[in-house]
């Protein structure tokens, strides 16, 4: 259901609340952070007492840049600080979860369980692990959560600074892979609207700039690509190299640009004990069906899974077996 169609229900929850907490998924990206900041601006214009919860200890470069530049401009707290800011009457607290609908993916699951009144605003498909007992505003036809929040900003004519408009635009550019995936006419219109508010395309590119070393590491994975069932691109990292979750996602995005490829899967170690799997699709191959069997999830166009205390080879074997069965 589109966020504008659900605005009355959302407004009712906001009006009732005295204190509002915003929380996105772990390993923040620019769509999660951008939509959180956009919602924060909407709430501040309504003179609401609100806080953004961030527990991540490390950030990807674009997120790190934004947080440094906005230092002191937004009330950011950690999950274990929420109790200090709760309104005395429990029913007057509200938690808004953005850019994920999965309970295990939020910044702090304890906060999710602590606050009774919840709203979820997200563009990923619902499924296993979806947050229960919440007002669910989910639209998997939009490019990003930043697009959803910008629709609210336009509808209510909320005045925002050009820098905040730039952050929202960067989230859209990120999730559409520079307007090549999951893009509709509404996506282009919303992007135009943000530029009319002063969003800077040059600044967006600055936020999305890549580190040369990280780019070089990603290119190593491009040298071992193989195809499965004729239309699926697959690659894996070596066991002694660690990648960030977003690096695997970027490689998966890149693999979709090859001829005849409908979906891509990338496996790599993301910390000492965890294997990450990132998947992408042009929309004609059901990656969610595969990912859910592996304990992960996602939507029509992107998804991921994590595996603890195992090896890249074992994850590869499980994935290829499922893909082979799917192709039969």
- Name the residue ranges covered by the structural domains of the chain: 7-207, 212-327
User: In this structure, are residues 140 and 155 in contact, taking their beta carbons and an 8 Å threshold?
Assistant: no
Residue 273 has pLDDT above 70, yes or no: yes
Task: Please state which of the ranges 19-23, 214-218, 289-293 shows the lowest mean pLDDT.
Answer: 214-218
| Collapsed DSSP state (helix, strand, coil) of residue 99 | coil
Position 298 confidence tier, pLDDT thresholds 50, 70, 90? confident
Binned at pLDDT 50, 70 and 90, residue 225 comes out as very high
pLDDT of residue 328: 61
- SS3 state at 242: strand
Contact 131, 97 (CB under 8 A): yes
- pLDDT surpassing 80 at residue 128: no
Fold of the CATH domain 7-207: inorganic pyrophosphatase (n-terminal core) (3.90.1640)
DSSP state of 224: G
Asked, colleague to colleague, whether 7-207 and 212-327 share their fold, the answer is no
What confidence category does residue 69 fall into, taking pLDDT thresholds of 50, 70 and 90? very high
How confident is the model over 133-182, as pLDDT tens digits? 999 999 989 999 999 999 999 999 999 999 999 999 999 999 888 898 88
Yes or no: domain 212-327 corresponds to CATH 3.10.310.30 = yes
Helices (H) and strands (E) in the chain, counts: 13, 12
pLDDT at residue number 1: 54
For residue 67, what are its two tokens? 């947080």
d(CA 163, CA 263): 35
**C-alpha angle with apex 28: 226 to 116, nearest 5 degrees?**
125
Question: For position 219, what pLDDT does the model report?
Answer: 79
The percent of residues in the chain predicted with pLDDT above 70, rounded, is: 98
For residue 265, pLDDT beyond 60:
yes
> What's the mean pLDDT when you consider all of the chain?
92
Determine the Cα–Cα distance for residues 311 and 219; give it in Å rounded to an integer: 22
For the chain, how many residues are written? 328
Element (H, E) at 234: strand 232-236
Contact 65, 207 (CB under 8 A): yes
Residue 118 has pLDDT above 60, yes or no: yes
pTM for this one?
A: 0.83
């Amino acid at each position: 259901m589109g966020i504008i169609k659900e605005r009355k229900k959302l407004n009712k929850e906001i009006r009732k609340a005295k204190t509002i907490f915003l929380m996105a998924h772990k390993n923040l990206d620019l769509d999660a952070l951008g939509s959180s900041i956009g919602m924060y601006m909407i709430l501040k214009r309504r003179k609401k007492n609100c806080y953004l919860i961030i527990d991540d200890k490390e950030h990807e470069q674009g997120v790190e840049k934004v947080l440094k530049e906005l230092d002191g401009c937004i009330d950011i707290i950690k999950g274990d600080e929420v109790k200090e800011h709760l309104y005395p009457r429990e029913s007057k607290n509200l938690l808004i979860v953005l850019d994920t609908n999965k309970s295990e993916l939020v910044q702090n699951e304890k906060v999710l369980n602590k606050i009774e009144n919840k709203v979820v605003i997200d563009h990923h498909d619902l499924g296993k692990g979806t947050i229960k007992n919440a007002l669910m505003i989910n639209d998997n036809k939009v490019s990003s959560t930043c697009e959803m929040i910008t629709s609210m900003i336009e509808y209510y004519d909320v005045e925002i600074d050009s820098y905040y408009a730039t952050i929202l635009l960067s989230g859209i550019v990120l999730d559409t892979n520079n307007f090549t995936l999951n893009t509709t006419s509404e996506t282009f219109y919303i992007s135009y609207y943000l530029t009319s508010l002063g969003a800077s395309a040059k600044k967006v590119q600055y936020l999305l700039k890549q580190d040369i070393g990280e780019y070089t590491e990603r290119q190593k994975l491009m040298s071992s690509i193989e195809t499965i069932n004729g239309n699926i691109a697959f690659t894996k990292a070596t066991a002694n190299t660690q990648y960030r979750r977003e690096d695997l996602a970027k490689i998966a995005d890149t693999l979709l640009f090859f001829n005849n490829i409908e979906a891509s899967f990338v496996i790599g170690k993301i910390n000492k004990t965890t294997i990450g799997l990132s998947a992408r699709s042009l929309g004609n191959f059901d990656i969610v069906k595969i990912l859910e069997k592996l304990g992960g999830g996602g939507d029509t166009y992107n998804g991921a899974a994590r595996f603890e205390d195992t090896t890249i080879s074992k994850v590869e074997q499980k994935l290829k077996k499922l893909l082979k069965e799917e192709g039969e």
